């Protein structure tokens, strides 16, 4: 741990610079909070740590099931990023308590933990901060790593520092791994108890409100509607160009494009407006007018399932570029065919299995996305059959949340 502390000290100036930039961009965030100061003490029954947006989304079924089992329990959720905090607010509102977890400096963590009284900490995915784990353990809290995954590449990096890794991996009381391969890697590094419980990201439920709202009704006049979800820089323009090709054969087709980051909403709107005559923002265009659009830019948070429900097919972004892709389970749960690019290492096992199930298709470039769009737009039976395969795959892999909570409660 000494070497780790020295390294953290050396990179401190860069961390502080990053913190100051975040503080200027978000009113709710500050360097003071990142140092463990100025956060109201909290007493909770369970503490769930989520690094950022993705982990908060993954934790939703876990939080819901915990609240069902323990209706009066107080839940603390910590995040590292302001965008993660926004997602906590959007997902749970006042049903949970949110705090920013401090940077993993010894005194910052110690300062923060003085104000936390809780018997157990659940860390979503493999967010293993040494100072945090050591000091949480000293406070007598139980530590559980949920939805843990460890790639072969990460395993080799940890293995180079065998002594450090063995101590680090021995700190959690239990690690709940995605699959057998992950469990073996954790055990080989020194983890005490590892259980294979599956992936909690499958345990998402479609909010009945999504079906009740039925945004699909606003596109009944359109021959084909597809969504480019959670797109990143380098994907938007190529996908817009493929939509031009689609529109040439299917003039009433609509693209719903939802950038991953809110700061890109206006940029993508401008890019779409440069190529299409009728482009609208979700925030400004009446729903009754959506069917007249060429492109609808989803400039809203927390409505992705509504966008998926409205579409015939979903392309999951972050995968045409080396970003690693996003979770394809949400559109699959709504029986939508799923297209992804080549770069899906963030959800490698899920995506590969979805493709093998027949519910997803992999595209090596945007041109192949365009070709598949044309194929699906011409064949409604293909849309239905591929969407059904996606749904069956997603449904068959559910149950991880209950296995995790059963184990924690035993």
Residue-range domains of the chain with CATH: 24-203+399-409 (3.40.50.11720), 208-396 (3.40.50.2000)
Question: What is d(CA 211, CA 310) in angstroms, rounded to the nearest whole number?
Answer: 10
Let me know if 86 is a catalytic residue: no
Sequence-distant (6+) residues with CB within 8 A of 129 are 104, 109
H or E element at residue 176: strand 174-177
CA atoms within 13 A on the CB side of 284: 10
356 alpha carbon, distance to own chain's centre: 22
Q: Tell me the CA end-to-end span of the chain in Å, nearest whole number.
A: 32
Question: What is d(CA 62, CA 56) in angstroms, rounded to the nearest whole number?
Answer: 10
CB 124 within 8 A of CB 146: yes
Q: What length does the chain have?
A: 410
Question: What is d(CA 22, CA 303) in angstroms, rounded to the nearest whole number?
Answer: 25
- DSSP class of residue 362? E
Question: What is d(CA 18, CA 364) in angstroms, rounded to the nearest whole number?
Answer: 34
Backbone phi, psi, residue 150, to 5°: -145, 110
Question: What is d(CA 376, CA 74) in angstroms, rounded to the nearest whole number?
Answer: 47
Geometric angle at alpha carbon 20, from 17 and 25, rounded to 5°: 130
Residue 209: its pLDDT value, please? 96
Question: What is d(CA 206, CA 255) in angstroms, rounded to the nearest whole number?
Answer: 22
The model carries a pTM of 0.75
CB 337 within 8 A of CB 361: yes
CA atoms within 13 A on the CB side of 390: 26
Q: Which stretches of the chain drop beneath a pLDDT of 50?
A: none
Residue 231: its pLDDT value, please? 98
Sequence-distant (6+) residues with CB within 8 A of 242 are 366, 367, 369, 370, 373
Residue 2: its pLDDT value, please? 66
What is the DSSP secondary-structure string of 215-255?
A: GGGGGTT-S-EEEEEEE-TTTHHHHHHHHHHHHHH-TT-EE
CA atoms within 13 A on the CB side of 126: 17
Question: What is d(CA 52, CA 79) in angstroms, rounded to the nearest whole number?
Answer: 6
Kindly give the residue spans of alpha helices, DSSP state H, lying in 261-378: 265-273, 304-310, 329-333, 348-357, 366-378
């Amino acid at each position: 741990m000494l070497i780790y502390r020295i390294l953290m000290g050396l990179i401190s100036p860069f961390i502080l610079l990053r913190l100051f930039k975040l503080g200027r961009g978000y009113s709710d965030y500050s360097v003071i909070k990142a140092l463990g100061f100025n956060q109201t003490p909290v007493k909770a029954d369970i503490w769930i740590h989520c690094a950022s947006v993705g982990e908060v989304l993954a934790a939703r079924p876990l939080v819901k099931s915990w609240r069902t089992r323990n209706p009066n329990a107080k839940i603390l959720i910590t995040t590292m990023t302001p965008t993660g905090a926004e997602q906590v607010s959007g997902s749970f509102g006042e049903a949970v308590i949110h705090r920013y977890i401090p940077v993993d400096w010894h005194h910052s963590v110690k300062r923060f933990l003085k104000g936390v009284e809780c018997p157990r900490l659940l860390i979503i995915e493999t967010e293993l901060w040494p100072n945090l784990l050591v000091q949480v353990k000293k406070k007598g809290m139980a530590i559980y790593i949920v939805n843990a995954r460890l790639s072969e590449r990460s395993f080799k990096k940890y293995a180079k520092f065998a002594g450090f890794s063995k101590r680090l991996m021995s700190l959690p009381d239990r690690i709940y791994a995605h699959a057998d391969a992950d469990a073996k890697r954790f055990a080989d590094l020194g983890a005490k108890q590892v259980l294979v419980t599956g992936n909690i990201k499958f345990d998402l439920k479609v909010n009945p409100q999504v079906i009740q709202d039925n945004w699909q009704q606003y596109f009944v006049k359109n021959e084909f509607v597809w969504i480019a979800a959670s797109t990143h820089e380098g994907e938007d323009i190529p996908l817009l160009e493929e939509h031009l090709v689609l529109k040439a054969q299917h003039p009433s087709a609509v693209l719903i494009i939802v950038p991953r980051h809110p700061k890109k909403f206006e940029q993508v709107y401008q890019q779409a407006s440069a190529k299409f005559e009728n482009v609208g923002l979700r925030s400004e265009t009446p729903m009754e007018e959506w069917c007249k659009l060429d492109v609808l830019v989803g400039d809203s948070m927390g409505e992705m399932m509504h966008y998926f429900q409205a579409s015939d097919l979903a392309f999951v972004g972050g995968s045409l570029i080396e970003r690693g892709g996003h979770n394809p389970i949400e559109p699959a749960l709504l029986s939508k065919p799923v297209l992804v690019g080549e770069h899906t290492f963030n959800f490698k096992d899920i995506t590969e299995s979805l493709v093998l199930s027949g519910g997803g298709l992999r595209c090596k470039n945007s041109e192949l996305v365009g070709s598949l769009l044309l194929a699906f737009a011409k064949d409604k039976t293909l849309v239905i059959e591929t969407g059904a395969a996606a749904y069956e795959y997603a449904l068959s892999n559910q149950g991880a949340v209950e296995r995790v909570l059963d184990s924690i409660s035993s």
